[in-house]
């Protein structure tokens, strides 16, 4: 019996996924949480074999939760399940120690299969996404440029981004300027949009 922890903030989707898994005789959902920061506590209590984590969650995102979980329960495999098949998410998920990465666009049947494979130690990457990630031109950003761009996505002014990243205001402007140049945008907002479209984030 494979014990599963389900982390997904949309109640109905979570319930539906649980129903989907309930049809599999060898799978058992032993815990359900709706927020990223509840993942580790629930896992410590329920001792699942696999954690199925959404990325977009309140409290803590699924990537971060995955990393924490790998520290606290190294025996628990992590599967990331997300709406957005951004290459950057895939990369981050792998860095966080996830065993697999699925998009919600994938066929429903693939889910149970992925869970079984994860427990047997395999890595599961959504084939469509893997192809997309490889086809997508490599991001031309330096790590810092990406970091600064991402920190600007909520629209906070340069000064605040600088504070958050412990950088000088001028430095932040330089990185943004460079990112704007590389995307061919006219300002940071467009740069952010174009970078996302090209899968550079």
- Judged by the rule CB under 7 A, the positions of this chain that interact with DNA are 142-145, 157-159, 166-168, 170-171, 173-174, 176-177, 180-181, 186-189
Does residue 171 touch a second copy according to CB under 8 A?
no
Identify which of residues 42 and 167 has a Cβ nearer to DNA in the complex. Answer: 167
Is residue 152 within 8 Å of residue 185, measured between CB atoms? Answer: no
Encoded tokens for 192: 């952010």
Nearest to 7 by CA among 62, 88, 46, 44: 62
For the bound state, the minimum distance from the C-beta of residue 139 to DNA, rounded and expressed in Å, comes to: 11
For the bound state, the minimum distance from the C-beta of residue 72 to a second copy, rounded and expressed in Å, comes to: 27
Does residue 187 touch a second copy according to CB under 8 A?
yes
Phi-psi region of 47 (alpha: psi -120 to 50; beta: other; left: phi over 0): left
Q: How far apart are CA 146 and CA 175, in angstroms?
A: 9
The count of other CB atoms within 10 Å of the CB of residue 95 is 11
Count of chain residues binding a second copy (CB under 8 A): 39
Which part of the chain contacts a second copy (CB under 8 A), choosing from 14-22, 37-45, 61-69, 70-78? 14-22
> Among DNA, a second copy, none, what does residue 35 contact (CB within 5–8 Å per kind)?
none
Which part of the chain contacts a second copy (CB under 8 A), choosing from 67-75, 108-116, 130-138, 168-176? 108-116
The count of other CB atoms within 10 Å of the CB of residue 11 is 10
For the bound state, the minimum distance from the C-beta of residue 70 to DNA, rounded and expressed in Å, comes to: 25
Distance (Å) of CA 89 to CA 43, 54, 80, 82, 107: 23, 11, 9, 9, 20
Encoded tokens for 78: 């992590």
For the bound state, the minimum distance from the C-beta of residue 74 to a second copy, rounded and expressed in Å, comes to: 27
Does residue 35 touch a second copy according to CB under 8 A?
no
State the residues that interact with a second copy by CB under 8 A: 9-20, 22-23, 81, 83, 102-111, 154-157, 185-193
């Amino acid at each position: 019996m494979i014990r599963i922890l389900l982390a997904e903030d949309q109640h109905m989707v979570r319930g539906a996924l649980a129903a989907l898994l309930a049809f599999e005789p060898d799978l058992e959902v032993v815990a359900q949480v709706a927020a990223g920061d509840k993942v580790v506590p629930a896992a410590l209590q329920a001792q699942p074999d696999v954690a199925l984590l959404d990325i977009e969650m309140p409290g803590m995102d699924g990537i971060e939760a995955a990393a924490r979980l790998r520290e606290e329960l190294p025996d628990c495999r992590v599967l990331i399940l997300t709406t957005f098949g951004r290459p950057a998410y895939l990369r981050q998920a792998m860095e966080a120690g996830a065993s697999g990465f699925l998009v919600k666009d994938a066929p429903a049947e693939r889910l149970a299969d992925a869970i079984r494979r994860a427990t047997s130690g395999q890595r599961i990457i959504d084939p469509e996404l893997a192809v997309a990630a490889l086809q997508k031109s490599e991001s031309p950003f330096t790590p810092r440029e990406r970091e600064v761009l991402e920190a600007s996505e909520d629209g906070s002014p340069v000064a605040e981004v600088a504070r958050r990243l412990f950088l000088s205001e001028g430095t932040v402007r330089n990185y943004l300027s460079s990112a704007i140049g590389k995307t061919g945008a006219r300002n940071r907002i467009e740069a952010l949009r174009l970078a996302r479209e090209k899968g550079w984030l």
